[in-house]
Structure 1
Amino acid sequence: MNWILLIVAGLFEVAFAACLGKAKETTGTEATFWYVGFLLALSISMLLLIKATQQLPIGTAYAVWTGIGAVGTVLLGIFLFKEPATFWRMFFISTLILSIVGLKVVSN
């Protein structure tokens, strides 16, 4: 169950990064809504991370959480914000994914 909470926390990290990206593209009231979404997603992500780390090792949990956020944010940038999907970006994202899986495998 704690691993599921951690994965969901990582997905909310992606959500708060997406809100920041969208807020940067807008102005006025619309930007305010994106910033509110950022704060909401950030709060949920942190609360779930705190809950997950009550049972999981902090080093592993934090690395997995940031890894999910990093991979998700890069993929979001490629698909939503039209950032380039170069060979080297995809190569290093792949190594990050392998590292996240590896941490899960070697953790109790």
Structure 2
Amino acid sequence: MSMAWLMLVVAGLLEVAWALGLKASAGFTRPLPSLLTIMAMVASFYLLAQAMKALPVGTAYAIWVGIGAVGTVLLGILIYGDSASPLRLLSLVLILAGLVGLKLAA
């Protein structure tokens, strides 16, 4: 995997971290979770920007958002007991199919 793709995957995983951190920060009222969330945001955006130097902007952004969305939904189900209805799970499969398609077309 090229360095740009690796940075993009890590940026997407950090997006999951900061999305979950937003909930943990309770609207930025809890100092430590708030600080960690902001740090994850900055690192995620930085790595996304670096990856975009070598990858098409539309592909990079969509993959970043897709990793963040799928990861956040899955961890929301596991950690917070969010709904795992068949339609939600099917929707995640469709997002993953789109991400694979974008990667193959890049």
TM-score, length of structure 1 as denominator length:
0.92
Counterpart of 1:18, as a letter, is L
Residue 5 of structure 1 corresponds to: 7
Alignment RMSD (CA, Å): 1.4
Unmatched 5+ stretches in structure 1: none
Counterparts of 1:46-65 in structure 2, within 5 Å, are 46-65=45-64
Matched pairs, number = 104
Measured after TM superposition, the shift of residue 24 of structure 1 is 2.3
Partner Cα distance (1:2, 1:76) in 2 = 25
Partner Cα distance (1:77, 1:103) in 2 = 25
| Higher deviation after alignment, 68-77 or 15-24 | 15-24
Q: Secondary structure of the residue that 1:76 maps to in structure 2?
A: helix
Please give the per-residue CA displacement for 1:17-73, whole angstroms capped at 9, x wherever unaligned.
111111229x96xx2111111100000000000000000000100000000000011
Aligned-residue sequence identity (percent) comes to 41
Is 2:102 aligned against 1:98?
no
TM-score, length of structure 2 as denominator length:
0.93
Residue 83 of structure 1 corresponds to: 82
Residue 17 of structure 1 corresponds to: 19
Q: Secondary structure of the residue that 2:25 maps to in structure 1?
A: helix
